[in-house]
């Protein structure tokens, strides 16, 4: 499969389980998250997809997910590039807070706006638009050229950094992308045309 881009959101993290805003905090995967990541790797293997290079964030949960995926693929020595540009959205003052406690402090409506609007950041943090502002140039300059050269590129990252990528790849609006859910550990496989547009999208669900 030439010109293939694979996106994988990290498996469930310890803070996902505790219903905490995580952002740039660095918890590891839960047992469920480990199983999700390994299963995602097995589905890539079953689909015959072998990446030529991998990219991930500077955060442990994404790196651990990538290592489990590569282990399932039998490619533990694959060249891997880590970069802060692929980190999760920074939740600022919300980071580390229980989502229910945040609703009590700021109100349900305000927290909903911070979580699900496109361009309204939480205090001290990033909006999805801000996240995209660092993800998109990195993709264009570092990842996309390797895909367009005919390679298969694996990106293991986070719900919002991947949302920003999906938005660009699929030409979605800010309103459309905030409603998109990206499942933990489930590979999304894009095959690109030579002009970088999407020729085909496949979600490798269980």
Find the catalytic residue in 10, 36, 64, 126.
10
Cα angle 140-123-100, degrees, rounded to a multiple of 5: 105
Other Cβ atoms less than 10 A from the Cβ of 172: the count is 15
The strand pairing partners of 8, in sequence order, are: 156
Phi, psi of 37 (to 5 degrees): -65, -45
Asked about 10 being catalytic, the answer comes back as yes
- Angstrom distance (rounded) from CA 113 to CA 104: 14
> Are 8 and 69 in contact, with CB atoms under 8 Å apart?
yes
Find the catalytic residue in 36, 88, 126, 158.
88
The strand pairing partners of 5, in sequence order, are: 153, 190
Q: At what angle do helices 128-138 and 159-170 cross, to 10 degrees?
A: 70
- Which active-site residues does the annotation give? 10, 88
């Amino acid at each position: 499969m030439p010109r293939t881009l694979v996106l994988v959101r990290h498996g469930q993290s310890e803070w996902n389980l505790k219903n905490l805003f995580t952002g740039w905090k660095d918890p590891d995967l839960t047992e469920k998250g480990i199983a999700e990541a390994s299963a995602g790797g097995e589905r890539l293997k079953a689909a015959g997809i072998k990446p030529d290079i991998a990219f991930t964030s500077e955060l442990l949960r994404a790196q651990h997910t990538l290592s489990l995926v590569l282990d399932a693929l039998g490619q533990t020595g694959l060249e891997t590039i880590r970069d802060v540009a692929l980190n999760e959205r920074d939740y600022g003052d919300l980071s580390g807070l229980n989502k229910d406690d945040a609703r009590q402090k700021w109100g349900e409506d305000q927290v909903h706006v911070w979580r699900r609007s496109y361009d309204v950041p939480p205090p001290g943090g990033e909006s999805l638009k801000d996240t995209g502002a660092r993800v998109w140039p990195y993709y264009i300059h570092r990842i996309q050229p390797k895909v367009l050269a005919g390679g298969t590129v694996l990106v293991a990252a986070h719900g919002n950094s991947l949302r920003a990528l999906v938005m660009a790849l699929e030409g979605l609006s800010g309103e459309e992308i905030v409603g998109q859910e990206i499942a933990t550990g489930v590979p999304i496989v894009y095959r690109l045309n030579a002009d970088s547009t999407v020729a085909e999208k496949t979600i490798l669900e269980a």
